[in-house]
Amino acid sequence: MINSYFILVDGQQTGPFTHDELMDNNLQPDAFVLSPLATEWQQAIDLPEFNEYFVSQGIYQPAKGNYANFGWRLLAYLIDQFIYYGFFAIIGGLIGAIMSLTGGEFGSIFINIEDVLQVVITFSGFFINAFLETTTLQGSLGKLICKLAVVNIHGGRETFLQALGRNFGKILSSLICGLGFLNVAWDSKRQGWHDQLAKTYVIKKRG
């Protein structure tokens, strides 16, 4: 049977299965599969005939051809900053309006409001991005617009803790004049230090 595949389950060979049967049984990207056209076991994510299936599941194999470069990642970051700062500018404006209407009665509460907002924007951004990276969006709004996705080493979604660690790892990447972010420009896998820390990749979706 040309359409016969075998799969390892707990170290035991099972099968044969058709291409459709494997997909119907929720084939995982890290599952070891013996293709009828190969003589060695391979992970399912490495078999081209399953590419469309995995993409439909939000799984994108990290590979040289689809690592998101520095330019795309910078554009996504700038879009995010525009969105976040725009939102918090509205909040700041409302606070200012309240202070004006109350004759500055709450002024002592909102001393150094810009510094407070900066901290709030930064840390809320970490949690918001971590949450978005674990959803079907697989990234921030900026990454969605730029058709980028954050994936784990198997091409799937991160866990929330992994995503949170990645985002807080941006503090490390920001040190030494942002050298950890600039690392994306010359790293062979286009990873920042925070990506390397969390074992994640940012890839460019097809289309």
- Edge-first strand order for the sheet with 5-9 is 12-17, 5-9, 32-34, 42-43
For residues 64-74, give the mean pLDDT: 91
pLDDT digits (tens, 9 = 90+) for 94-149: 766 666 666 655 555 555 555 666 666 677 778 989 999 999 899 999 999 999 99
| Distant-in-sequence, close-in-space partners of 52: CB < 8 Å, separation ≥ 6 | none
Work out the pLDDT band at 70, boundaries 50, 70, 90.
very high
Number of folded domains that form the chain? 2
Within its chain, how far is the Cα of 98 from the centroid?
38
Percent of the chain having pLDDT more than 70? 82
Q: Are 20 and 116 members of one domain?
A: no
What residue numbers bound the domain in which 16 lies? 5-56
Percent of the chain having pLDDT more than 90? 40
pLDDT of residue 168: 93
Residue 195 domain-assigned (yes or no): yes
Q: Are 89 and 151 members of one domain?
A: yes
**What value, to the nearest 5°, has the Cα angle with vertex 179 and ends 178 and 181?**
70
**What value, to the nearest 5°, has the Cα angle with vertex 40 and ends 34 and 44?**
45
Per-residue pLDDT for 150 more than 60? Answer: yes
Residue 12 domain-assigned (yes or no): yes
pLDDT of residue 47: 85
Q: Are 94 and 191 members of one domain?
A: yes
Question: How many Å apart are CA 162 and CA 181, to the nearest integer?
Answer: 18
Q: Are 76 and 52 members of one domain?
A: no
